[in-house]
């Protein structure tokens, strides 16, 4: 199925895929299901291990993604690049396209409607014990989808993520900081939030500040410091860069699959065993 989806998707355009290829894929999924083929299995194509659900999302086949999930495909299982279906849904296979294609938005919206994506790390951890769910701010071998949107200057994907609760996580901000791309983040935030000064913390751009930074601010407020300090002088008082000194470790924590982990499908070596 992986090979078939790649071949169907190779003619994808900035407008998505043909109705004919969508129907062909749905027929293939049904045939595989009737023959008892494991919907969560995958195959090596090119240099990496791929899963059918993830490849379908990558090419914007939202109807196929819906059908596979209905048949029991696990959304949080990763491929050989550490991507899950959520990450792939907001990636465009066309390097020339820097906007959010309608089919990609429909795929991502479908995953949200199916409630297989959460913005809560607590919910994600709880669900790992009894079901399959993706963490919206989760990572891959190339960073989170939010980080990729910022690096690729894709304002449309950034706006979509912010709309549904996506955030700049600590590790995302550290990656931008360590590669001297925090100024790029600031420019992107201005386009999304329409604010004139992104160096001063406000509720409007709260999503762009790392969780640990906000925890520290809250702790200082609880100590009785005036609220005015944070509305006018928060950057010199407690800069985000304070959390990311030059000698900070360069390692990043990759969030692994939940239900897949339960079955021994960890992110690194065991992921090839469906």
pLDDT band at 256 (very low <50, low <70, confident <90, very high): very low
Give residue 130's pLDDT: 61
Average pLDDT of span 241-264: 47
User: What whole-number distance in Å separates Cα of residue 23 and Cα of residue 8?
Assistant: 11
Sign of CA dihedral 23, 24, 29, 32: positive
Give residue 270's pLDDT: 36
Domains of the chain: 1-141+254-274 (1.25.40), 168-252 (no CATH)
Average pLDDT of span 100-114: 95
Instruction: Map tokens 């990496």 to a residue.
Output: 48
pLDDT band at 105 (very low <50, low <70, confident <90, very high): very high
User: What whole-number distance in Å separates Cα of residue 172 and Cα of residue 210?
Assistant: 8
Give residue 251's pLDDT: 43
Residues 50, 100 contacting (CB under 8 angstroms): no
Share of the chain above pLDDT 90, in %: 28
Half-sphere exposure of 220 (CA within 13 A, CB side): 15
Average predicted confidence (pLDDT) for the chain: 79
Sign of CA dihedral 83, 88, 94, 97: negative
**Kind plus residue range of the DSSP H or E element containing 49:** strand 48-51
Q: Is it the case that residue 273 has pLDDT exceeding 50?
A: no
């Amino acid at each position: 199925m992986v090979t078939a989806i790649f071949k169907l998707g190779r003619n994808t355009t900035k407008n998505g895929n043909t109705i004919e290829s969508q129907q062909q894929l749905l027929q293939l999924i049904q045939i595989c299901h009737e023959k008892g083929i494991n919907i969560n299995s995958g195959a090596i194509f090119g240099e990496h291990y791929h899963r059918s659900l993830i490849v379908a999302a990558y090419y914007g086949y939202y109807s196929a993604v819906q059908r596979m999930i209905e048949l029991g495909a696990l959304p949080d299982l990763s491929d050989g690049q550490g991507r899950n279906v959520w990450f792939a849904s907001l990636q465009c296979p066309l390097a020339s396209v820097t906007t959010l294609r309608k089919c990609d938005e429909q795929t991502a919206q479908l995953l949200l409607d199916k409630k297989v994506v959460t913005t809560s790390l607590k919910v994600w951890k709880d669900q790992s014990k009894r079901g399959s769910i993706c963490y919206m701010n989760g990572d891959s071998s190339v960073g989170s989808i939010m980080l990729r949107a910022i690096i690729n200057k894709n304002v449309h994907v950034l706006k979509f993520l912010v709309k549904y609760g996506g955030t700049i996580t600590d590790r995302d901000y550290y990656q931008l900081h360590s590669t001297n791309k925090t100024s790029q983040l600031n420019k992107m935030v201005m386009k999304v939030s329409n604010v004139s000064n992104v160096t001063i913390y406000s509720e409007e751009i709260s999503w762009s500040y790392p969780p640990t930074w906000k925890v520290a601010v809250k702790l200082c407020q609880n100590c009785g410091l005036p609220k005015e300090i944070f509305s006018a002088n928060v950057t010199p008082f407690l800069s985000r860069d304070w959390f990311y000194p030059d000698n900070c470790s360069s390692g990043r924590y990759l969030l692994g699959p939940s239900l897949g982990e339960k079955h021994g499908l960890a992110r690194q070596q065991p992921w090839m065993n469906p």
